[in-house]
Amino acid sequence: MDDASDNGLVRVWDPLIRIGHWVLAVAFATAYLTGGEPQWLHTSAGYAIAVTVALRLLWGLVGPRRARFSDFVTGPGRVFAYLRDLLTGRAERHLGHSPAGGAMTLALLFALAVTALSGMATLAVEEGQGPLAGIVTSASLPIWAEEDEDHDEYGEHGEGGGGEAFEEIHEFAANATLLLILLHLAGVAWASRAHGENLVRAMIDGRKRSAE
């Protein structure tokens, strides 16, 4: 049950959700804008993303009601129905994530996970560093990616071979994440206007009004 307050507000988002949300926002912006230079800052931001995503996935299983995936994960039918109603001004207000908000949460977590993991894979193959060093190698590449790699006269990957393919995956995932973030911001602005509440502030103090 959500904790009601005297001023008509109810606590919806717990501290881990709120802090994790802003950590991901700052870490992704840092990693994307640095473009890999300096490497230590880019890498540190990537680790922050990986750890936060892992915690969020765990919290989605064992956290409080509004944090759990079971509270907001729905089928595509409800997502598209909500988006249609949002465009026409008839969308139902949800105290937690709306169906579209839940779908975006899952999409962002997946895109951030792929971005972080492919970045660590690139670091492992090219530099032999990071938590995936010795685990992920050029031999870890799928066949379709290996065909695009340069091979030496013996048919083996050259020095650092495989890193380029992982880097391409990393860049694609990062750009896809940026696109999702822009869509997310647009959706937050539209929903805030449609439902007459500041969803950004709610993700800061954790509270939303309890009823219409």
Query: What is the CATH number for 46?
Result: 1.20.950
pLDDT for residue 5 is more than 80? no
**pLDDT value of residue 48:** 98
**pLDDT value of residue 77:** 96
* Residue 8 belongs to a domain: no
- Chain-centre distance for alpha carbon 38: 23
**pLDDT value of residue 166:** 87
Question: Residue 121 and residue 127: Cα distance in Å, rounded?
Answer: 10
**pLDDT value of residue 153:** 40
Q: What is the pLDDT of residues 14-59, one digit of tens each?
A: 999 999 999 999 999 999 998 878 999 999 999 999 999 999 999 9
**pLDDT value of residue 82:** 95
Host domain of residue 56: 14-202
Helix 163-195 with 15-34: angle, nearest 10 deg: 130
* Residue 138 belongs to a domain: yes
**pLDDT value of residue 8:** 82
The total of structural domains in the chain comes to: 1
- Classify the C-alpha dihedral 123-127-129-131 as positive or negative: positive
In the chain, beta strands by DSSP E? 3-4, 9-11, 207-209
pLDDT for residue 76 is more than 90? yes
